[in-house]
Amino acid sequence: MQVITAPELAQWLADAGRAKPVLLDVREDIEIRTAAMPGITHIPMGQIPGRLNELDEDAEIVCICHHGARSMQVANFLERQGYAKVYNLTGGIHAWSTQVDPSVPQY
């Protein structure tokens, strides 16, 4: 698993010459309703094992949660399942809100 900061992810998403990653948000429904990045794939952490078929093993996947702890667990799990291009967003949606997009509410 690799780590990526919010500013690094913002650069990646803005790079027209680079394929966009899957933004896998593993937070709960209520958290998504409170604050979310555009273009996410939402699968709550507890549902990941039963929904692996929804994720392409060859895709670059950035795991996202509130502060980065749950997403790190999911990223580690995905790697153990054979996903080779997995990143964890350090600081989670909170870092995205404070460092990249202040229009995303903090909670």
Which tens digit of pLDDT belongs to each residue from 13-71? 999 999 999 999 999 999 999 999 999 999 999 999 999 999 999 999 999 999 999 99
In a domain, 68, yes or no: yes
Both tokens assigned to 49: 């094992």
Q: What would the mean pLDDT of 2-23 be, rounded to a whole number? A: 98
Note the pTM of the prediction, 2 decimals: 0.97
In a domain, 81, yes or no: yes
In a domain, 12, yes or no: yes
- Predicted pLDDT at 14: 97
Q: Which of 65, 78, 86, 95 is catalytic?
A: 65
Instruction: Report the pLDDT averaged over residues 89-106.
Output: 97
| Overall domain count for the chain | 1
Confirm whether 65 is a catalytic residue: yes
What the block records as the tokens of 61 is: 């996947």
For the domain that residue 40 is a member of, what is the CATH number? 3.40.250.10
Is residue 106 included in any domain, yes or no?
no
Q: What range does the domain containing 88 cover?
A: 2-99
Residue 36 lies in a domain: yes
- 3-state SS assignment for residue 107: coil
For residue 9, being part of any structural domain is answered with yes
Q: Which two tokens stand for residue 17?
A: 């010459």
